[in-house]
Amino acid sequence: MEPNVSAELVKETASEMEAIIRHLKGTLPDWLPGYRVKILDGNALAASEHRLKPLRSCNSAPLPGQSLVVLDPALMLAVDVFPCEDGHAQERSLLPNVLATVEEGDVWIADRNFCTMNFLSGIVAQKGYFIIREHQCLPWHQANEFRYVGSGEGGKVFEQTIIISDDDGFLSNIRRVKVVLEQATRDGEQEIFILTNLPIRVATAALIAQIYRKRWTLETLFQVLTVIFNCQ
């Protein structure tokens, strides 16, 4: 089956299910009223018995594939998927396909692997917004010092404004939120940094930190689908 067939199947099914959910008033509370939140994450297909028989016992054989999945947390639906037949391809290579779907008023939430200058500026160019964890390779210039804004779920929250020098000037003033964690991450990190272009009147730094933590709902969706479809 061609990858675009799988992608269209997900989109068409999500569109029909969205209509049913909204008709039955079954949506969950909006994370940001007035904005459509979309969570982006990658999902690699593990090696399985569905691989070509000669490759099943070879650990270095090519993986079956991977995809980027978009979750609407208000609907708890995977509303879009970007499949790739190369399981070893860099997830970032699929981001141009994602940018083509960005709509005005979207708020994209993603992990640091998706924190690239082209992706961030591309979202802003489409009049969208982002809440994305900072990647250490992203270049930026400090505009002011961190200021303490209070304690949130999981740790103390600080905020500063930074400037990212993209060619088109879309990232001139970006909010950088620092969360000093009460408990270190599984990688041993004591603090994380989150970038956003949402105005402070729409979302405080504490709310930004809280929303980012809630992005784990996409992992929950993967688990639900795994159980329902018996790991297929």
Query: What is the DSSP-derived secondary structure letter of residue 93?
Result: G
Q: How far is the C-alpha of 105 from the C-alpha of 101, rounded, in Å?
A: 12
**Contacts of 22 by beta carbon, 8 Å cutoff, 6+ apart:** none
Asked if pLDDT for residue 162 goes beyond 80, the answer is yes
* 3-class state of residue 75 by DSSP: coil
| Residue written as token pair 């969570």 | 39
Asked if pLDDT for residue 204 goes beyond 80, the answer is yes
Q: In this structure, are residues 62 and 89 in contact, taking their beta carbons and an 8 Å threshold?
A: no
The CATH code of domain 3-228 reads: 3.90.350.10
Q: In this structure, are residues 156 and 231 in contact, taking their beta carbons and an 8 Å threshold?
A: no
Give residue 160's pLDDT band: very low, low, confident or very high (50, 70, 90).
very high
Mean pLDDT for the stretch of residues 87-102: 88
For residue 218, count other CB atoms closer than 10 A to its CB. Answer: 23
- Taking only the tens place, the pLDDT of each residue in 12-63 is 999 999 999 999 999 999 999 999 999 999 877 665 555 667 776 776 656 6
Written as one letter, the residue type at 204 is T
Written as one letter, the residue type at 198 is L
Domain ranges of the chain: 3-228
What pTM did the predictor assign? 0.87
Give residue 168's pLDDT band: very low, low, confident or very high (50, 70, 90).
confident
Q: How far is the C-alpha of 223 from the C-alpha of 228, rounded, in Å?
A: 9
- Taking only the tens place, the pLDDT of each residue in 120-157 is 999 999 999 999 999 989 988 878 899 999 987 778 99
Mean pLDDT of the chain: 87
The pair of three-digit structure tokens given for residue 138, joined into one six-digit string? 């992203």
For residue 84, count other CB atoms closer than 10 A to its CB. Answer: 20
Q: How far is the C-alpha of 179 from the C-alpha of 152, rounded, in Å?
A: 8
Q: How far is the C-alpha of 134 from the C-alpha of 139, rounded, in Å?
A: 10
Q: In this structure, are residues 196 and 174 in contact, taking their beta carbons and an 8 Å threshold?
A: yes
How far lies 53's CA from each of 48, 49, 56, 129, 232, in Å?
10, 8, 5, 45, 18
Q: In this structure, are residues 124 and 136 in contact, taking their beta carbons and an 8 Å threshold?
A: no
